[in-house]
Structure 1
Amino acid sequence: MTKGFMEHFRCCGEPERQIATELCQRAGVEACDVYCHSEAMAAMAQTICQVEGDVLCKLPFATMAEAEQLGAEWSFSSNMAQPVPGALPYEKLSEVEIPAFSFDYGLMQENLQAIRLLKSKGERISFNIEGPFTLLGLLVPSKEIYKGMRAKPNLLRSLCEQLIVNIEAEAACVAEAGADVISYADPLVACNMVSPLIYTELCGDIIREALQRITKAVPEVTVHVCSATSAAFQRAGFCHCRSYMVPKGMCYGEALCFIRRQAGVRLVGHGCLQHSCCKMVKPVVYELELC
């Protein structure tokens, strides 16, 4: 990646995945079921894929499964049937406890079943997994996390390492269920969110461990790192980047599938899966190599 890209990089962020009434009618599902039941999840993911002309069905629509496993709460607004985070279970970083994920009950099981349903219909699936800092933000106020980077780095690292164990296990289950792409993001420590020193000494090192363990756990799946995460990651020297040219006229999702087949590329960054249905202006995909 060129220096110019790094200097001018801007991420529009992950949009709130609110499900429009029209889409629910087209998919034949209720809005609240899209977040809670595998059949509705799969139907909505397939409907969005068809409407947008995408090659990837994207799941999930919220981090409710991880929140449920960690003891955090979500609720549905009365007028929009959209999930919103409830009260955080902890006020202080020192209070946080990280339980192990289980994949045979609740929303986590529904997510995995939705992947299987889509796979049985011949679809290609992209599944989003959040990084440890963002998952920690489901449990404690973000200001506590940022304070902890300076005041309690060892505690923060310990909590993140426990979360990485869960993330690795989730990635393995998602891959076994049939996902083709795992999308990794950690927006809480994305570009310009923390100082370069803290990123180099703490955040980037933790993200590197997460990506190392995920890629090892899912050798047959492409891991796509959100550009807001990968840009800061490369800037801090935690990875090298190699560009691959793909045929002109491809959309980004097609390009990801192409380079996996043609070159066996497993870890990709500096792109945005929100644009997977869009034709690429510059037909280049960036492979990341961890340092």
Structure 2
Amino acid sequence: MNKIVDFKCTYDNLIGIRKLVTESTNLTFPDAYKNWDSMAELALAIKEHNHANYCELPFCHTLEGEALGGIIYYGDENGGPRGKEYICSTAEELLSLPAIDYSQGRMAEVLQACSLLRNKGENVVLYISGPFTILNVLMDPRYIFKIFKKNPAAMQDIFDKLASEIIRFVEEAQKVDVNLISYGDAMGGVNILGPKFAKQVVEMFTYPFLKRVEEIIRRETILLLCPKTTFALLGTERAQWRDIDLGVPTTYSEACVQVIGQAKFVGQMCFKNNSFELKKGIIKAVDLL
């Protein structure tokens, strides 16, 4: 079996909030992170500032955790929402959390902002978090890893619960015509979990989750994998590369849009690296085995 290679990413926390961007708007914070119309305006401002070919939402990694009941500090013009305090300390408490209601709260506002931007003809990348990033909002990581080590059956139940919620998020995103869905779980990378537990996460969560996504994702949508996830799949022989020749050099983000309909997953580079150029005009699809 291959070794899981870590991808050293410097973009994980850079979903888009910059003081230079927020100062160019008339938005008030933190309200701008809560309402669909201000979210859309801020996303457009970030797109222009970054000279990007897409808008990105949300502006944090706390959306799913909050929707499950997590307590959030909403931030200000200098930084987006982040976790404030933990609400769970046992597997039983996590498993008893209610299902996400996608028709209410900040979750509904994000989806409405996506819909508005898509109706304006924008490419929209929706950031969806993996299990450890979501759990980081809900529970002290010490307790999470204790459950993982001491009670793998309970951890599997937690993974299954979160997988079902994230699948529903993918389905809701497609209802509003989001064409780019980004999936990452930096808190669950091999650099944090170590090789043994990273392999277990692929087998217990990542691979079965993505196989379910593969079944429901439409030709009009593509899933952008964090390279940490891609290399975990490759290192456990659960995926392989497939070259798609675009014919001309282009940026990675532009290539991802171009291959919608030709691939369900890509993930050789962090999508937030706007300057990364495919000099040979070849992008690598990630095909699950």
Q: Note whether the superposition's TM-score is higher than 0.5.
A: yes
2:114 — aligned with what? Answer: 115
The amino acid that maps onto 2:106 is: L
Going from structure 1 to structure 2, the CA distance change for 1:78 and 1:235 (only over 3 Å counts) comes to: closer
More moved, 93-102 vs 138-147: 93-102
Following the alignment from structure 1 to structure 2, what is the Cα–Cα distance between the partners of residues 205 and 82?
A: 31
Shift in Å at residue 63 of structure 1? 3.3
Q: List per-residue Cα deviations over 1:2-24 (Å, max 9, x = no partner).
A: xx997584222412446334322
1:246 — aligned with what? Answer: 246
- For the aligned residue pairs, the C-alpha RMSD in angstroms reads 2.5
1:205 — aligned with what? Answer: 204
Q: List per-residue Cα deviations over 1:144-202 (Å, max 9, x = no partner).
A: 22222221111011011011111001111111112111000111221332233333334
- Contact conserved, 2:246 with 2:282, CA < 8 A, in 1? yes
Following the alignment from structure 1 to structure 2, what is the Cα–Cα distance between the partners of residues 78 and 283?
A: 40
2:267 — aligned with what? Answer: 269
Counterpart mapping for 1:1-291 below 5 A: 9-17=7-15, 19-77=17-75, 80=78, 82-96=80-94, 97-220=96-219, 221-261=221-261, 264-276=262-274, 278-281=276-279, 283-291=281-289
- Contact conserved, 1:56 with 1:276, CA < 8 A, in 2? no
- Contact conserved, 1:73 with 1:87, CA < 8 A, in 2? yes
Going from structure 1 to structure 2, the CA distance change for 1:279 and 1:31 (only over 3 Å counts) comes to: farther
Normalised by the size of structure 1, how large is the TM-score? 0.89
Shift in Å at residue 116 of structure 1? 1.0
Following the alignment from structure 1 to structure 2, what is the Cα–Cα distance between the partners of residues 9 and 75?
A: 29
More moved, 193-202 vs 102-111: 193-202
More moved, 209-218 vs 32-41: 209-218
Normalised by the size of structure 2, how large is the TM-score? 0.89
Going from structure 1 to structure 2, the CA distance change for 1:170 and 1:76 (only over 3 Å counts) comes to: closer
